[in-house]
Amino acid sequence: KGMVWILCAWLVTASSLQAQTAPAPLSEPVGRLLKAEGAVSYAQKAAYGAGIQDMVIGYGSEGQPVVGIATRSTKTYQEALSIVAVTPVEGSFKVAAAEIPDVSKFGGKSSSMAKDALEDITGKVFKNEAEARGLVDAVTGATQYYKAIYVSYALMASKVIEELKANPDWPRLPLDP
């Protein structure tokens, strides 16, 4: 009878550990951004922290980090998923993409303002994470929603840069073709 309890306790513990370590499936936008930057494998940390839901590092065919992607929910004109992709480029870091997949669901002027902010953020180059956090300084006098976009992307870009520099040893998975 004691062995049955031990076996049950072991099975419950093992299954809960497996549930904690199993990677979440990649969303379509994240998978698309990984492929766009030439990633062949990736590592993911779900529930990353600092308000970031997912942190994903994409690796090239030689095992080098080629892109870092962060996602988080941001309250701008409405609650929406925000995604940033950052690539290492010649000792600096470039925002390869800044997206809100549901931006078309924002109403009229809100949609165009959000698209303008995302377009402005995309292509920015930073030397390090501190420079990325300074992204928000460029929008003094902006509306609270416009500023929320910049604050969110500044946070995400800075954390992605930290992880790209650290090159974490998270378990890697092949990226489906």
Kindly report, residue by residue over 52-100, the tens digit of the pLDDT.
Answer: 999 999 999 999 999 999 999 887 667 889 999 999 999 999 999 999 9
Edge to edge, the sheet with strand 172-174 lists 125-126, 92-99, 79-89, 65-75, 52-59, 41-49, 172-174
Write the DSSP assignment of 45-95 as a string of letters. Answer: EEEEETTEEEEEEEE-TTS-EEEEEEEEEEESSSEEEEEEEEEEETTEEEE
Model's pTM, two decimal places?
0.84
The DSSP call for residue 163 is: H
Per-residue buried b or exposed e for 136-159, using 16+ beta carbons within 10 Å of the residue's own CB: beebeeeeebbbbbbbbbbbbbbb
**What is the tens place of the pLDDT at every residue in 87-117?**
999 999 999 999 999 888 887 778 888 888 8
